[in-house]
Structure formats: structure tokens, C-alpha cells
């Protein structure tokens, strides 16, 4: 419904359903923050958009009539169709509430045993047993479908971008001095978890190291990332190339599709790069790459290997190593080498293209 990574991890399940049921009418309920990820997807017939943040603002400001009216309109839209099957991929209470309100004789999802168990399965009447609570999110979603009688098919995201997104991506890269066809690495620096973040001066060192080898770096990010990327820019010796705050999610996907490699911390845009087929180098500290890392053998995950990782904490409380040691011990030199090797795998002539 909301987290960008969770929505992207569900796209292969969507395309699997569509290929098994080419004549079915498929509807996705999503929160407004993630709408851009699925709007225009060829496998979807309808999207129900829950504007949770807007509703919360109305409620917190005491505008109860407006909040109540908004809720009633959404529930009316949710219940205007009798569905043959409703599937809860998110398995949280906030998704289970809508599953309970939907009109369907079949309400399906996982039973008890998931790592983020909120007992949302109590509102389901078809419960698929959890085979491996530590399975990657994409595996978990595809196994759920298998449990409901939809066998696995070759993985596809079919991430939707349009001509306007492609044109905007190309224009933004030109402004950065990256002409069409020139090799570059896209760097996505920030997450909402302080413990997942690396350090501005180290990202700058990586960008400088790649630039010295002929591979320019373009920094991406949301509007709220501006201060963090300003800190990176202040430490750079090479030219500053950035498109942060100027891309929709679809345009960001178009930028990533043009990149030779995407370097990222553990965040939604990392999964976006995977969805459009670009090799990823990911920096992981407090979270597990086996659970939410870049999916597929072609990607590289760098970890420090400290004993307290993964801890899944937003505030570091370790007593085993230095504070934030899981990220602190990842060195710029090994990141430069990993990105360089990933770029080299893309083609034997990439170095010449990067320097031209």
C-alpha cells in the first residue's frame, strides 16, 4: 500500500497474476505516496487510492466532517465491486482493515509466522502457511500466489514509464553534462533511517574516485534530501552533478535505466533500479540483504560484517563495536572497486564510451 520497496516487490506478483488470468479485472489498493509506481501499469485495470496522509491531516486538525466524508467516499469506492478474490500482500493491520471492508467471499494472505506479524491474518478466511519467514520479499509474494494456485512464472516487473518521463530524464542528464549514451553511475544517498545512511564525505570520495577513472556520478534524491546532498557536494573535488528533487518516481526510473550502475543505501529507489534492470551496488548495515536486498544474482551488496548486524534499529545501541560500525567500516575504496566491476560487466567497450 505505501512503502516504495514493498510496492515494487509486489510488481512481479501482479504480472504473474495477469499472465495467469489475462481476462481478469485486476484492482490495486495503494496509498497516494506510492501511486506513481503503479499508475499506468499495463497489468492493472483499476487503482483505488487511499490518501492516508491527507486524511490524517484533516483528523489531527479537528476537521472531523471532512475526514469522515473522505473516509466514506473511499469505503464506497472500495465496496462498489464484488471481488472474486482479495489478496493481502502487505500483511499489516492497516491493509487488513481494507481487506475486511472489501466485498469478497475469498480474502487471502499468509497465516501466522511472518517476521512482521501483527495478526492481520485473523481477518482472512484463506491462510497460506509461511514456509520461510526470512525469505526475500519478492519470494514471499510469489510463494503466496503459489499457495493460492498461481504457479511461478519468469520474473517480470513491467515498470511503467512514458515518453515524457524518458524525455525529462534525458534533459536532466544533459544539464549535468551527461550526453545520451555516455556511461555514468547514479548515486542515491539517503534513507529515512539514520542507521542506514552512510557519510557525505565518503559518497564524495566515491564520486571523485569514479570520476578519476572516467565514470561520472549523478546524485539522485527526493526534495527532502537536498541538505544531505548539499553536504556531499561541499566535499566533492569533481564536478557536482545532481538531479535530486527534480524527478517523479517514473522519471527517476528513466534516469536509473540509463545508468551503468546504481549505488544506493537500503531504500526504495534501490529496488526501483532493480525493477528497470540496472545493476546495483548496495550498502547494507542494520538491515538484512537476504530479506530486503536487491533481488537477483547480478547485484552486489557490501556489508562490514560486524556481529550486531542486522539489528533493524533506527538508533544504534551497539556495545559490541564502535557506534554505527556496520556502516562506518564500509570503506570508499571498496565501494569504488565494486561499482567499477559492476560497470565493466555491462560491456567491454564501456570505458571508451565513458571517456568520450
Q: Residue 353: its pLDDT value, please?
A: 45
Looking at the predicted structure, is the pLDDT value of residue 312 above 60? yes
Q: Identify any residues that bridge with 219 across adjacent strands, giving them in sequence order.
A: 187, 242
Percent of residues, the chain, with pLDDT higher than 70 = 97
Can you tell me the mean pLDDT for 143-166?
96
204 vs 68: CA distance, rounded Å: 48
What is the residue-wise DSSP string for 128-163?
Answer: E--S-TTS-HHHHHHHHHHHTT----S--------H
Determine whether domain 163-355 maps to CATH 3.40.50.2300: no
Q: What is the pLDDT of residue 335?
A: 98
What is the per-residue pLDDT for 354?
Answer: 45
State the pLDDT at residue 209.
Answer: 97
Mean pLDDT, residues 213-220: 96
CA 127 from centroid of its chain's CA atoms: 26
pLDDT at residue 298, rounded to an integer: 92
Whether the per-residue pLDDT at 347 is higher than 70: the answer is no
Q: What is the pLDDT of residues 231-261, one digit of tens each?
A: 999 999 999 999 999 999 999 999 999 999 9
Grade residue 356 by pLDDT with cuts at 50, 70 and 90: very low
pLDDT in tens, 175-209: 999 999 999 999 999 998 999 999 999 999 999 99
Which CATH class for the 4-147 domain? Answer: alpha beta
Residue 351, pLDDT > 80, answer no
β-strand pairing of 82-83 with 46-50: unpaired
pLDDT single digits (tens) 76-105: 999 999 999 999 999 999 999 999 999 999
**What are the residue boundaries of the structural domains of the chain, listed by start?**
4-147, 163-355
pLDDT at residue 300 greater than cutoff 80 = yes
Q: What is the value of pTM for the model shown?
A: 0.91
The residue among 28 and 345 whose pLDDT is bigger is 28
The Cα-based distances of 356 to 77, 182, 262 in angstroms read: 54, 8, 21
> What is the per-residue pLDDT for 321?
85
Amino acid at each position: 500500500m505505501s512503502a516504495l520497496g514493498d510496492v515494487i516487490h509486489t510488481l512481479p506478483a501482479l504480472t504473474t497474476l495477469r499472465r495467469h488470468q489475462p481476462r481478469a479485472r485486476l484492482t490495486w489498493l495503494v496509498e497516494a505516496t506510492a501511486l506513481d509506481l503503479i499508475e499506468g501499469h499495463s497489468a492493472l485495470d483499476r487503482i483505488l487510492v487511499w490518501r492516508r496522509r491527507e486524511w490524517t491531516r484533516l483528523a489531527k486538525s479537528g476537521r472531523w466532517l471532512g475526514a469522515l466524508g473522505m473516509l466514506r467516499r473511499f469505503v464506497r469506492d472500495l465496496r462498489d465491486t464484488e471481488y472474486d478474490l482479495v489478496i493481502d500482500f502487505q500483511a499489516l493491520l492497516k491493509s487488513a482493515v481494507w481487506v475486511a471492508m472489501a466485498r469478497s467471499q475469498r480474502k487471502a494472505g499468509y497465516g501466522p509466522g511472518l517476521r512482521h506479524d501483527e495478526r492481520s491474518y485473523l481477518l482472512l478466511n484463506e491462510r497460506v502457511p509461511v514456509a520461510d519467514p526470512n525469505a526475500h520479499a519478492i519470494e514471499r509474494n510469489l510463494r503466496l500466489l503459489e499457495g493460492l494456485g498461481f504457479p511461478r512464472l519468469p520474473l517480470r516487473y513491467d515498470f511503467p514509464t512514458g515518453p515524457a518521463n524518458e524525455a525529462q530524464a534525458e534533459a536532466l542528464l544533459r544539464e549535468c553534462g551527461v550526453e545520451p549514451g555516455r556511461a555514468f553511475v547514479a548515486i542515491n544517498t539517503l534513507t529515512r533511517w539514520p542507521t542506514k545512511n552512510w557519510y557525505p564525505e565518503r559518497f564524495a570520495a566515491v564520486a571523485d574516485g569514479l570520476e578519476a577513472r572516467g565514470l561520472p556520478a549523478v546524485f539522485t534524491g527526493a526534495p527532502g534530501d537536498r541538505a544531505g546532498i548539499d553536504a556531499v557536494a561541499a566535499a566533492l573535488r569533481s564536478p557536482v552533478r545532481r538531479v535530486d528533487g527534480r524527478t517523479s518516481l517514473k522519471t527517476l526510473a528513466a534516469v536509473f535505466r540509463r545508468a551503468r550502475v546504481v549505488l544506493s543505501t537500503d531504500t526504495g529507489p534501490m529496488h526501483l533500479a532493480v525493477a528497470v534492470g540496472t545493476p546495483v551496488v548496495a550498502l547494507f548495515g542494520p538491515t538484512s540483504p537476504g530479506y530486503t536486498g536487491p533481488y537477483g544474482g547480478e547485484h552486489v551488496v557490501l556489508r562490514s560484517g560486524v556481529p550486531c548486524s542486522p539489528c533493524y534499529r533506527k538508533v544504534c545501541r551497539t556495545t559490541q563495536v564502535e557506534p554505527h560500525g556496520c556502516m562506518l567500516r564500509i570503506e570508499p575504496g571498496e565501494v569504488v572497486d565494486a561499482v567499477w566491476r559492476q560497470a565493466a560487466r555491462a560491456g567491454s567497450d564501456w570505458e571508451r564510451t565513458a571517456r568520450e
